[in-house]
């Protein structure tokens, strides 16, 4: 691999390399400027030692095409790819910010509200990729960028898979993921699934809230052994300020058995979305950020406090009374826990009937991911439609996605576009970008580049950076 000074000033395609941005175990990244659009991009060069096999080019092109098809605000876009002087590269969206590893290093434990919002947004990005059968394989703080507006972006999709075939697990652990964030099945070379990414994201949340990784050792192999066999250290023992709900979410996401983790990334996001404690966690209140605040009336009742201990004679009958009290208390706690979910759903349903848009949207999300209720996409669509009529922007966007993907109803691109336009009018940047994309590529309709440009511009003005690139691009691909 060339040293940074060897590439500075060179023109790769339409991009002139300006300066190095960073070096990792698999690649080197440079900042570049598009010679015509005058915008910045990042170019990632795969290290030469990972591109030695005869079929690497075929695999590189296949993976690059798949990754380039991902269009999500939480995923760093791939704009171009190719080779230069024997070096394979990807031209990516340039995110002006810092990675979460640096944030943790400089700030230490992150406040729960902030950390949960970041992780929930990344969970949404992973869910989008997983629905397209793309698994990241190397989710970690270093691969999550925080921009100047507080948004998070996941990068390096597919890089770990690309180099995996070129290397076995070594002392460095390079090539198949990063040991501190690798799920047990990944460490053992078993099948990699969406659950593998959920585990890694759970470790990221653990580190954000505690400032530490759960397992540490002198060698990467020793870290993997701990991750496979040792119980997960409770994050509250490191940071007592962590809520019980956040700790429970982490422990489920990082379960040893993939089947014991959240069913999918959206289920993980839904649990984070529903974290209570609004009086202890500040609410940010931005439509485009995950507000960790229960919908009105959905606060979950606290379990009753155990009765004060009463001295009991040290006798067989005394011990029996203690066991009886303990059994009764356990049954009571279980009953309260079982009743929580129906109470929450009933409260949301009641509020939705009263035309509370946020309640209809939250209930739709529950039906979409199967949280507290059986998964029902048809019911979710009905609720999203109602919430959209009540001017809830994200509900309009979600309804549009359901019509576009044929979830909950037959695929209907006309209705999908209508809902995206409605969401855009309500200032949802994702809806604006989706409407623009449908106009640009036709998606079963007549292509209209002028309309695409209008919606890309609106999405750009609302803070969707990838739309800014598309708005400046012009022309039909």
Catalytic residues: 138
Question: Other C-beta atoms within 10 Å of 40: how many?
Answer: 15
Return d(Cα 27, Cα 366) in angstroms, integer.
40
What are the backbone angles phi and psi of residue 59, rounded to the nearest 5°? -65, -40
Residue 112, Cα to own-chain centre: how many angstroms?
16
Rounded to 10 deg, the angle between the 393-405 and 429-441 helix axes is 30
Name the strands in the sheet holding 144-147, side by side, starting at the edge strand that comes first in the sequence: 97-99, 144-147, 152-154
Tokens of 288: 């485009």
């Amino acid at each position: 691999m060339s040293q940074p000074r060897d590439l500075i000033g060179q023109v790769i395609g339409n991009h002139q390399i300006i300066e190095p941005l960073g070096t990792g175990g698999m690649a080197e990244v440079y900042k570049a400027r598009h010679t015509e659009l005058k915008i910045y991009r990042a170019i990632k060069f795969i290290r030469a030692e990972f591109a030695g096999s005869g079929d690497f080019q075929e695999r590189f092109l296949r993976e690059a095409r798949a990754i380039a098809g991902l269009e999500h605000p939480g995923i760093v876009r791939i704009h171009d790819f190719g080779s230069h002087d024997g070096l394979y590269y990807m031209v990516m969206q340039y995110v002006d910010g810092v990675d979460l590893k640096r944030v943790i290093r400089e700030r230490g434990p992150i406040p729960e509200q902030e950390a949960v919002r970041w992780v929930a947004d990344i969970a949404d990005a992973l869910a989008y990729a997983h629905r397209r059968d793309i698994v990241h394989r190397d989710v970690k703080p270093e691969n999550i960028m925080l921009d100047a507006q507080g948004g998070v972006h996941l990068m390096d999709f597919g890089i770990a898979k690309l180099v995996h075939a070129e290397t076995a697990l070594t002392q460095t652990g390079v090539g198949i993921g990063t040991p501190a964030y690798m799920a047990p099945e990944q460490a053992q070379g078993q099948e990699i699934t969406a659950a593998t990414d959920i585990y890694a994201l759970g470790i990221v949340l653990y580190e954000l809230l505690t400032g530490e990784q759960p397992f540490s050792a002198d060698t990467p192999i020793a870290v993997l052994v701990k991750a496979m066999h040792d119980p997960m250290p409770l994050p509250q023992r490191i940071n007592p300020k962590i809520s019980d709900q956040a700790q429970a979410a982490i422990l489920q996401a990082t379960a040893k058995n993939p089947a014991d983790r959240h069913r999918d990334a959206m289920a993980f996001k839904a649990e984070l979305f529903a974290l209570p404690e609004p009086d202890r966690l500040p609410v940010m209140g931005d439509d485009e950020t995950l507000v960790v605040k229960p919908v009105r009336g959905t606060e979950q009742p606290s379990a009753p406090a155990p009765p004060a201990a009463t001295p009991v004679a040290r006798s067989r009958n005394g011990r029996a009374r203690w066991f009886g009290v303990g059994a009764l208390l356990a049954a009571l706690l279980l009953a309260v826990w079982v009743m929580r979910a129906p109470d929450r759903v009933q409260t949301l349903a009641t509020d939705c009937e009263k035309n509370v848009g946020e309640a209809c949207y939250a209930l739709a999300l529950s039906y979409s991911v199967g949280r507290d209720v059986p998964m029902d996409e048809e019911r979710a669509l009905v609720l999203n439609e109602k919430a959209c009529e009540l001017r809830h922007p994200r509900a309009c966007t979600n309804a549009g996605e359901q019509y576009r993907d044929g979830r909950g109803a037959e695929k209907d691109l006309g209705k999908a576009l209508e809902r995206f336009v409605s969401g855009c009018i309500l200032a949802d940047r994702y809806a604006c970008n989706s409407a623009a994309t449908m106009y640009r590529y036709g998606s079963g309709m007549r292509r209209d580049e002028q309309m695409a440009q209008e919606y890309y511009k609106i999405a750009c003005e609302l803070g969707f950076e990838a739309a800014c690139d598309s708005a400046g691009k012009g022309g039909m691909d």
